[in-house]
Amino acid sequence: MEPNIPQRPLVSHPLITHAPGEVISLPPRLLPSAAYYALMASYPEAGVGWGGRYDRTDKDTHRFRIADTRGPLTLTVPIAKPQGGARWADVELSDHGRWQETMPTALESAYGRTPFFEFYADRLLPIIANARGGDKLIDFASALDSAVCGILGLTSHRIVHSATEVVKTPGAPLPELPPYWQVRAGTLGFIPGLSILDLIFNLGPEAPLLIRAATR
């Protein structure tokens, strides 16, 4: 039986959109929340700024949150220790912990029973499995971002991952999203703020509708 989750209807009209030429500046994030992509979707162009100086306390550039059987779980992509003064655009992946093998397994364990995991896994998990130490974090994140945008139907938007632009906070507030169906909401309740993967694997082709239903 589906969990009883309070929902606002997934409206068919788009969220607030901006005129051609307007650009939203976004901080670098790895597989961020649906709200991040909803903000991106409301602008015809988005610039993701990786030019800021590396800060080891800013973990969201190389980690993301999912939900497994016990609740929220953070998955981290190991990075090589940068040299002093390095920018985020210079940061490289590390092979530590064989995460390229364990992370797809963790995602399958968490979402294997969702309605759309098998449908989208082949578009996302190989990017993780084929990553190698020495690859640039910016290229890895950009590849995942491109796959996500394709699934969400944001192919007409121009999204630029800049190695020089410095962005520490979004150029506008993140929009609110209505609660959506999650496979374990019956036992865990609705868990907000998870990676966009949670929305995609749970809602599949309805995910773009929820993105458009976001409100400022």
pLDDT in tens, 68-112: 999 999 999 999 999 888 999 999 999 999 999 999 999 999 999
The answer to whether residue 10 sits within a structural domain is no
pLDDT surpassing 50 at residue 8: no
The answer to whether residue 187 sits within a structural domain is yes
Give the mean pLDDT of the chain. Answer: 88
pLDDT surpassing 60 at residue 66: yes
The answer to whether residue 60 sits within a structural domain is no
What phi and psi values does residue 57 have, to the nearest 5 degrees?
-80, -15
The rounded distance, in Å, linking the Cα atoms of 165 and 122 is 32
Torsion angle of alpha carbons 106, 184, 177, 126, nearest 10°? 20
Report the number of distinct structural domains present in the chain.
1
The answer to whether residue 24 sits within a structural domain is no
Domain that holds residue 75: 33-53+65-212
The answer to whether residue 6 sits within a structural domain is no
Q: Give residue 21's pLDDT.
A: 57
Helix (H) or strand (E) holding 161: strand 158-162
The answer to whether residue 20 sits within a structural domain is no
The answer to whether residue 9 sits within a structural domain is no
Torsion angle of alpha carbons 116, 187, 193, 103, nearest 10°? -60
Task: Name the residue with higher pLDDT: 144 or 156.
Answer: 144
The answer to whether residue 199 sits within a structural domain is yes
The 10 Å Cβ neighbour count of residue 23 is: 14
Question: Average pLDDT of 26-47?
Answer: 92
pLDDT surpassing 70 at residue 199: yes
pLDDT surpassing 60 at residue 5: no
pLDDT band at 169 (very low <50, low <70, confident <90, very high): confident
Q: What is the pTM of this model?
A: 0.88
